[in-house]
C-alpha cells in the first residue's frame, strides 16, 4: 500500500482517508476515493481480533462479497471490487450516507407509525429479493439498517447470510457458535441454529417493536437469560406499551414474533402488504433528512414505477 495525496493508496487506485469511519468485531470501514472512476467509496477491511489469520473469517468475509454483489437492489449497498492488501481481504463498496436506525431511535425515543412502517416496508422489499434468491440474512437489527437523507433505507452486513439448500455455504461459523445477535434472534435459531426466511421475519418483528416503543422485545443481564426469554416468554403487546399505535400494526408485530415459524406471516411480501398502508403522516426529522424541496431521484423513480400497474 502506497501513500496518496489524501492518505494511503490501495491497489494503486483507492485513496483512503486518514482514519476509519467505523470499527467492528470483524473489521474496519474506511472512506475512500476511487481515483480511476472518480467516485466516493467505502472500503471494508477484515480484522483478525487476535492478530492471527483466521481462515473461517476470511471465508465468511469473501462470501459476504459474493452474496452482497449478487443482490441487485437499491436497498443493498453495491459491491464494486474485492482484493487483499498486506494479507488482509477488503471489499470496495458503495458509500452510504445516513443514520443507523439504532441511533435514530435513541435520538427520537421512538418513531412514529409512519416512519416505523416506512423503514420496515423497505426492509421487506430487500428481504423479498434475498429470500427469492434463497438467502437468509440472519443478523437483521437496527444497527444494520441505515436511513439515508432522501428517506431510503439500506440493509447492511450480509456477512452472516446463509444460502438455503447450499451445503457449501451453510457452515460459515465455528462449530458450536450460533451466528446472530440474541436480542433479534428467532427461537429456532437459538434452539437449534436453524435459520429460514421466517427467522428474518422474526428479527424484523423485533426491529419494528423497537422502532415503535423505543425498547427491545426482551432484555436480560446475560445472553443465556435473553435467549431463554426469546424461546419461552410471550412479548408484551405493542398497543399495551403505546396505546396510540393502530391495532393492525400491533397485530403485524405480534404475528412476526410468533414462537413457531409456521405461525408467522407467509413471507416478506405479505408483511409489506400489511404495512404499506401505514406509510404516511411522517413527522419531521431535523438534521436527518434532506429538505422536502430537494428533489430525490430515488423517490421520483419509485413513484413513477409504482403507477405502472396501479
Instruction: Please determine, for residue 4, whether its predicted confidence score (pLDDT) is greater than 60.
Output: no
* Beta-carbon count within 10 A of 224 CB: 11
Separation of alpha carbons 305 and 310, rounded Å? 9
pLDDT at 106: 96
The string of pLDDT tens digits covering residues 120-130 is 999 999 999 99
Three-state secondary-structure class, residue 27: strand
pLDDT at 291: 87
Instruction: Please determine, for residue 25, whether its predicted confidence score (pLDDT) is greater than 80.
Output: no
Instruction: Please determine, for residue 163, whether its predicted confidence score (pLDDT) is greater than 50.
Output: yes
Is beta strand 153-155 parallel, antiparallel or unpaired with respect to 145-147?
Answer: antiparallel
The string of pLDDT tens digits covering residues 256-269 is 999 999 999 999 99
Taking residues 185-214, report their average pLDDT. 95
The residues, ordered by sequence, that sit 6+ positions from 269 with a Cβ below 8 Å of its Cβ are 124, 128
- The crossing angle, in degrees rounded to 10, of helices 113-132 and 268-275 is 160
pLDDT, mean over the chain: 88
Under 8 Å between Cβ of 242 and 213: yes
Given the residues 34, 139, 157, 200, select the one marked as catalytic: 139
pLDDT at 171: 42
The string of pLDDT tens digits covering residues 219-247 is 999 989 999 999 999 999 999 999 999 99
Three-state secondary-structure class, residue 29: strand
CATH 3.30.200.20 in the chain is located at 2-94
- Which CATH code fits 99-304? 1.10.510.10
Three-state secondary-structure class, residue 244: coil
- Which CATH code fits 2-94? 3.30.200.20
Which of the four pLDDT bands, split at 50, 70 and 90, describes residue 178?
A: low
The residues, ordered by sequence, that sit 6+ positions from 172 with a Cβ below 8 Å of its Cβ are 56, 59, 60, 63, 160, 162, 179
CATH 1.10.510.10 in the chain is located at 99-304
Residue whose C-alpha cell is 458450536 = 176
Under 8 Å between Cβ of 151 and 161: no
CA distance from start to end of the chain: 53
Q: Which grid coordinates are listed for 249?
A: 400494526
For the CA atoms of the chain, what is the radius of gyration? 20
139 a catalytic residue? yes
Amino acid at each position: 500500500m502506497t501513500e496518496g495525496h489524501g492518505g494511503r493508496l490501495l491497489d494503486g487506485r483507492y485513496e483512503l482517508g486518514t482514519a476509519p469511519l467505523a470499527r467492528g468485531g470483524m473489521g474496519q470501514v474506511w472512506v475512500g476515493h476511487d481515483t480511476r472512476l472518480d467516485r466516493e467509496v467505502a472500503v471494508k477491511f477484515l480484522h483478525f481480533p487476535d492478530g492471527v489469520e483466521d481462515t473461517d473469517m476470511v471465508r465468511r468475509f469473501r462470501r459476504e462479497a459474493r452474496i452482497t454483489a449478487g443482490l441487485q437492489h437499491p436497498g443493498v449497498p453495491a459491491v464494486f471490487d474485492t482484493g487483499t492488501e498486506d494479507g488482509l481481504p477488503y471489499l470496495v463498496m458503495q458509500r452510504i450516507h445516513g443514520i443507523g436506525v439504532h441511533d435514530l431511535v435513541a435520538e427520537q425515543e421512538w418513531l412514529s407509525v409512519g416512519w416505523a412502517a416506512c423503514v420496515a416496508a423497505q426492509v421487506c422489499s430487500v428481504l423479498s429479493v434475498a429470500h427469492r434468491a434463497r438467502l437468509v440474512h440472519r443478523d437483521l437489527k437496527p444497527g444494520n439498517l441505515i436511513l439515508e437523507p432522501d428517506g431510503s433505507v439500506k440493509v447492511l452486513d450480509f456477512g452472516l447470510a446463509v444460502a438455503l439448500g447450499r451445503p457449501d455455504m451453510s457452515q460459515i461459523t465455528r462449530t458450536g457458535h450460533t451466528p446472530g445477535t440474541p436480542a433479534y434472534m428467532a427461537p429456532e435459531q437459538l434452539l437449534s441454529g436453524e435459520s429460514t426466511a421466517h427467522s428474518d421475519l422474526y428479527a424484523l418483528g423485533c426491529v419494528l417493536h423497537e422502532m415503535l416503543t423505543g425498547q427491545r422485545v426482551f432484555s436480560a443481564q446475560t445472553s443465556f437469560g435473553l435467549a431463554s426469554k426469546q424461546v419461552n416468554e410471550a412479548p408484551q403487546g405493542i398497543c399495551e406499551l403505546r396505546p396510540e399505535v393502530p391495532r393492525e400494526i400491533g397485530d403485524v408485530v405480534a404475528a412476526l414474533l410468533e414462537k413457531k415459524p409456521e405461525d408467522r406471516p407467509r413471507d416478506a411480501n405479505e408483511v409489506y402488504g400489511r404495512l404499506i398502508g401505514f406509510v404516511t403522516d411522517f413527522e419531521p426529522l431535523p438534521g436527518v433528512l434532506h429538505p422536502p424541496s430537494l428533489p430525490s431521484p430515488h423517490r421520483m423513480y419509485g413513484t413513477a414505477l409504482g403507477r405502472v400497474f396501479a
